[in-house]
């Protein structure tokens, strides 16, 4: 779309942003006068549910740009860089999972910044399924949602091997998991709709038309 999606504004949430989140999320919010962006929306949602939130940036310049959205960087928000830039989302996933050991976390709920309407109820429900030994993989329209899933830190060695083999996308994990005896628990669409009936959490924005539709919605998030 010609610009960093993390910085795209969510005008439709601006008025209620600072009035609807629980106190646990307030330190992850920029001032009320600041625009709500894809990034600040996701961080606020996750900060209300998680002890730590890890933000993976492509490089130092992008990390500085993201930090500029916050006058005081929230103490629960940890910024890490891709260990090698411009390799793709698999490197981003790997770089984020590598910090889990230091955070004493067994697994992580992974989200993508271009899907800003992560619903708190769905995020909380997925977190309740968390496992130290299984990948928890939502499925929508028959497609595994690799960028909104739970990954255990035990798969870090597998991702290292995949990166060394030239893989760039997280779907490679699902292809390799069976031969490595890594369990994948698939969450079917009917189960997801019980907590996110319209599956808004999985709505990604890839075109100017989708962005315009997102901001014209009268109530884009619950």
Tens-level pLDDT at each residue, the chain (222 residues) = 446 777 787 765 544 444 444 444 445 555 554 678 889 889 989 999 999 999 999 999 999 998 888 877 788 899 999 999 889 999 999 999 999 999 999 999 999 988 888 999 999 999 999 999 999 999 999 999 999 999 999 999 999 999 999 999 999 999 999 999 999 999 999 999 999 999 999 988 777 676 666 666 555 444
Task: Please report the pLDDT score of residue 11 as a whole number.
Answer: 63
Tally the domains of the chain.
1
Q: Is residue 59 part of a domain?
A: yes
Q: Is residue 193 part of a domain?
A: yes
| C-alpha to C-alpha distance for 121 and 119, rounded to whole angstroms | 6
Question: Hey, what are 3's tokens?
Answer: 């610009």
Report which of 127, 117, 143 is spatially closest to residue 199, judged by C-alpha positions.
117
Q: Is residue 94 part of a domain?
A: yes
Question: Hey, what are 157's tokens?
Answer: 């060695």
Q: What is the DSSP string of 45-60?
A: HHHTT-S-EEEEESSH
Find residue 149's DSSP bridge partners: 110
Q: Is residue 10 part of a domain?
A: yes
**Pair 51, 11: CB distance under 8 Å:** no
CATH of the domain at 154: 3.90.550.10
Q: Is residue 58 part of a domain?
A: yes
| C-alpha to C-alpha distance for 37 and 22, rounded to whole angstroms | 18
Q: Is residue 220 part of a domain?
A: no
Q: Give the predicted TM-score (pTM) of the model.
A: 0.86
Report which of 124, 135, 78 is spatially closest to residue 101, judged by C-alpha positions.
78
**Pair 209, 6: CB distance under 8 Å:** no
Task: Please report the pLDDT score of residue 34 as a whole number.
Answer: 61
Q: Is residue 22 part of a domain?
A: yes
Domain region containing 56: 5-215
Task: Please report the pLDDT score of residue 29 as a whole number.
Answer: 53
Q: Is residue 45 part of a domain?
A: yes
Question: Hey, what are 158's tokens?
Answer: 């597998």
């Amino acid at each position: 779309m010609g610009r960093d999606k993390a910085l795209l504004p969510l005008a439709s949430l601006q008025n209620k942003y600072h009035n609807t989140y629980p106190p646990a999320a307030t330190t992850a919010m920029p001032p009320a006068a600041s625009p709500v962006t894809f990034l600040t929306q996701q961080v606020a949602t996750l900060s209300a549910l998680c002890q730590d939130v890890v933000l993976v940036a492509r490089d130092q310049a992008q990390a500085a740009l993201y930090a500029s959205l916050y006058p005081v960087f929230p103490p629960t928000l940890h910024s890490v860089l891709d260990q090698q830039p411009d390799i793709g989302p698999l490197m981003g996933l790997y770089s984020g999972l590598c910090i889990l050991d230091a955070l004493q976390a067994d697994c992580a709920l992974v989200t993508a910044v271009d899907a800003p309407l992560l619903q708190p109820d769905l995020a909380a429900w997925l977190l309740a399924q968390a496992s130290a030994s299984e990948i928890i993989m939502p499925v929508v329209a028959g497609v595994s949602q690799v960028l909104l899933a739970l990954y255990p830190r035990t798969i870090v060695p597998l991702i290292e091997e995949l990166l060394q083999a030239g893989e760039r996308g997280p779907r490679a994990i699902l292809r390799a998991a069976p031969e490595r005896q890594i369990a994948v628990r698939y969450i079917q669409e009917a189960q997801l709709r019980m907590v996110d009936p319209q599956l808004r959490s999985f709505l990604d924005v890839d075109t100017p038309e989708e962005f315009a539709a997102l901001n014209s919605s009268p109530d884009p998030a619950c």
